[in-house]
């Protein structure tokens, strides 16, 4: 197995984790790692089926707290899995579309945001001509 840190070609078996996964050690940089490094499963006590059900529910639009209730995992675990998967997806997307050359770009839909004026309660009242407000300071002439 190749070392993911220094890319040394021969990492050796180096005991097992508490979950029973094989641990490796690089003779060059002396780092230890498992075969799940740089995946969603690295250092997680979740099965692939658990992670799949969390991500499937998230793509269906279920709230994060709802996913935590359905899968019987902690809310922070669900958030961590979703966050990690979105970061991995962003890295893959950026790598895949990095060198694409285009001649023409066509926008399918155009969205814009028009700022609404303040709600009526927050608007300043319109003053009538000649009316004074309590904030007006009389000027000396």
Residue with tokens 């009538």: 128
Report the Cα 112 to chain-centroid distance in Å: 24
- Model pLDDT, residue 44: 79
Range 120-134 average pLDDT: 59
Confidence of residue 106 (pLDDT cuts 50, 70, 90): confident
d(CA 97, CA 99): 6
Q: Are 47 and 71 in contact (CB under 8 A)?
A: no
Per-residue pLDDT at 3 exceeds 90: no
- Model pLDDT, residue 32: 86
pTM: 0.58
Please state which of the ranges 22-26, 83-87, 132-136 shows the lowest mean pLDDT.
Answer: 132-136
């Amino acid at each position: 197995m190749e070392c993911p840190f220094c890319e040394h070609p021969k990492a050796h078996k180096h005991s097992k984790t508490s979950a029973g996964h094989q641990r490796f050690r690089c003779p060059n940089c002396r780092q230890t790692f498992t075969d799940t490094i740089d995946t969603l499963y690295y250092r997680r006590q979740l099965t692939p089926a658990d992670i799949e059900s969390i991500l499937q529910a998230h793509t269906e639009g279920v709230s994060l707290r709802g996913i935590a209730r359905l899968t019987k995992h902690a809310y922070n675990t669900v958030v961590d899995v979703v966050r990690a998967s979105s970061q991995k997806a962003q890295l893959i997307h950026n790598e895949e579309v990095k060198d694409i050359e285009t001649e023409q770009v066509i926008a399918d839909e155009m969205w814009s945001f028009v700022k609404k004026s303040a709600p009526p309660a927050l608007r300043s009242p319109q003053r009538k001509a000649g009316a004074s407000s309590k904030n007006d300071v009389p000027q000396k002439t």
